[in-house]
Structure 1
Amino acid sequence: MGGLWNELGKKLAERWVSLLVLPGALYLAVAFAARTLGRGHPLDIARIAREITTFAAGPEMTGLGGQIVLLVAVLLAAAAAGTVATAVGTLVERLVVADGWRTWPAPLAYLAGLRAEHRRTRWDAADRAYHERRKRAMAPDPADRPAPALLRAAARRRARIAPERPERPTWSGDRVQAAALRLDRDHRLDLAVLWPYLEPVLPEALSARIAEARAALVRATTLAGWALLYAPLARWWWPAAPLALVLALAARHRVRSSVDSYARLLEVAARLHAPALAAQLGIDHTGPLTDDLGARLTHHLRTESPPPPEPPDRAPDGRTRAVPAARSDG
């Protein structure tokens, strides 16, 4: 048992160092450079070296106690910066996935609605262009048919806006929503209703892949959180601006990639393993997922709303009549 706790402690320490301390230490280094160099000497590395040498030669740093205090202070500050970046990343995730965006505070919900409407307009235009080319591709005369590459290019332009007709203000939000839309359209299956019951019965390998895709999304949004933390440093030190931009672009790419993998795995899990869940629930079905099974699963698993309160029993004179307590004959 002691070996298990030691191994668990090592893994937690490794995650603490890799996720919080190391990125936080880099952030502290950039902040120190911004404070030391400022706008006047943005690339003067020798100036930083002199500042560090002067600080290290100070009387408070010559003793072991001062060095320990400095090390602890740096570790705590780095961990604090990492915690802030993680919290900002959580907010970024909520914004990019945009689940329930209509319930956001008034200014955000209004702007998100405008964004969603603009994306729908663009998607509709791209969808019309795609279907026009597809219709031409079915022309009887081969000379009138467009090149297959043009049809694929039209499909890619539409997919860059959203995989399905947009309902949310972001691509990532619509990518997750697309999995639910396809399952509802193809099999009349409500993914939001099914998932809490399906997730515990998935095979271990598939569950691990879904968990890894979800963790990759968290890491990507945390990287976006770091980009937002680096951006204010550009006010004092301009090299922080390109650093924040690079982190933001990398975070955008990683968010889209991880969201695409996560949504794809959700759809795969539902299509492949919904019949197995139906068998565990006692629903008679053989074969793959069908429209009938999807509708039966959704109806079986959906939780009904609480019933309305019953009106009080009133006496003929209009006063509320007391309901007698149940008698016990025992």
Structure 2
Amino acid sequence: MGGFLSELGRKLAERWLSLLVLPGALYLAVLATAHALGHAHPFDPARLAGRIGAWARAPAAGNAGGQAVLLAAGLAGAAAAGLAAQALGTLVERLWLAADWRAWPFPLRRLAKWRVERRQDRWEAAARHYDRQREEAARALALGRWTDPAERHTAHRTLVSVSAERPDRPTWCGDRIQAVAVRLDRQYRLDLAAVWPHLWLVLPDAPRAEITAAREALTRATALAAWSLLYLPVTVMWWPAALISAVLAVSSRARTRAATGTYATLLEAAIRLHGTDLADRLGIDRSGPLTKEFGAELARHLHTDPPARSARTPHQSGRVAGPREP
């Protein structure tokens, strides 16, 4: 038991160090550099070395007690910056996935609706172009002619770059997750929101580990966007911080899209591969692959009836329960 606890503590310390302290320490270092150099001397290593030397010769840094206090303050500041980035990253993730955009405050909801409509127009235009390419290829195949598939593949990539299914959310990442629910409903009549919590509990360790890793990668990618936003105020003191912010923003966008695609693919694969396992655990007597009939039957087992509006407790009704009145 002691070995397990020590190993658990070591892993927690490693995660705390890698996710919070190290990025926060880098942020504090950039803040110190910005304060030391300013706009007038943005790339002056001699000036930076001189300022650091002056800080090191300060009375507070000349004894062990002062150094311990400075070290503790530095660790606390780095951890606080890391926690701020994690909290901001959660907000960024919610905006990028946009699962509940219809419940956002009015200005954001109106902007999100405008984005959805614009993306739907782009998707429908790309879908029409892709359909034309497929029809031309089908006609050529019926006549025994060979056609170069490059243009058809390009049209498909253009379509998917907008959304894998018809857009329903204001962002690509949100629609990539939504596409899983749309496909499962269309092909198997499965409700992803109802099925997934139950399926997660019966998944084997290997797919659970893969999905967990993909979800953590998505969280880390959105945290990069949070760091990008935190570096923006530093540009007031030191303009090169804008370059750091831009690099982090571009990297975060690319990594978030990749992580979202991986996560969505794993979700869909897990349901397709292990949906029958969930049926076995629920006592549904069925063999063979997933079908629409199977999906409908599974949905009936997992569906939760809404509460009856007439079923009120004595406290809710405001009177003592008794025989039903005519």
- TM-score tier, shorter chain, comes to over 0.9
- Matches of 1:311 and 1:283 in 2, distance apart? 33
- Matches of 1:22 and 1:179 in 2, distance apart? 36
SS of 1:138's equivalent in the other structure is helix
Q: Which residue number corresponds to residue 171 of structure 2?
A: 170
Q: Which residue number corresponds to residue 72 of structure 1?
A: 72
Q: CA deviation at 1:275?
A: 1.0
Aligned length: 318
Q: What is the letter of the counterpart of residue 224 of structure 1? A: A
CA RMSD between the two structures: 1.9
The TM-score normalised by the length of structure 1 is 0.93
Matches within 5 A, 1:48-127: 48-127=48-127
Q: Choose 275-284 or 97-106, whichever is displaced more.
A: 275-284
Q: CA deviation at 1:166?
A: 0.3
Q: What is the letter of the counterpart of residue 297 of structure 1? A: L
User: Is contact 1:133–1:146 with CA below 8 Å preserved after alignment?
Assistant: no
Q: Which residue number corresponds to residue 286 of structure 2?
A: 285
Q: CA deviation at 1:2?
A: 2.1
Unaligned runs of 5+ in 2: none
Q: Which residue number corresponds to residue 183 of structure 2?
A: 182
Provide closer, same or farther for how the CA distance between residues 322 and 41 of structure 1 changes in structure 2, counting only shifts above 3 A: closer
Matches within 5 A, 1:119-158: 119-140=119-140, 141=143, 146-158=147-159
Matches within 5 A, 1:1-330: 1-140=1-140, 141=143, 146-309=147-310, 324=322
- Matches of 1:246 and 1:61 in 2, distance apart? 35
Q: Which has the larger radius of gyration?
A: 1
Unaligned runs of 5+ in 1: 313-319, 326-330
- Matches of 2:75 and 2:67 in 1, distance apart? 12
Q: CA deviation at 1:189?
A: 0.7
Deviations 1:46-78 (A, max 9, x none): 111101101111222111001000000000000
Deviations 1:277-312 (A, max 9, x none): 111111111011111010111111011111112599
Q: Choose 274-283 or 191-200, whichever is displaced more.
A: 274-283
The TM-score normalised by the length of structure 2 is 0.94
- Matches of 1:78 and 1:56 in 2, distance apart? 19
Q: CA deviation at 1:139?
A: 2.0
Q: Which residue number corresponds to residue 317 of structure 1?
A: none
- Matches of 1:31 and 1:22 in 2, distance apart? 14
- Matches of 1:3 and 1:281 in 2, distance apart? 38
Q: CA deviation at 1:147?
A: 2.2
User: Is contact 1:20–1:78 with CA below 8 Å preserved after alignment?
Assistant: yes
- Matches of 1:211 and 1:126 in 2, distance apart? 34
Q: CA deviation at 1:190?
A: 0.7
- Matches of 2:200 and 2:284 in 1, distance apart? 18
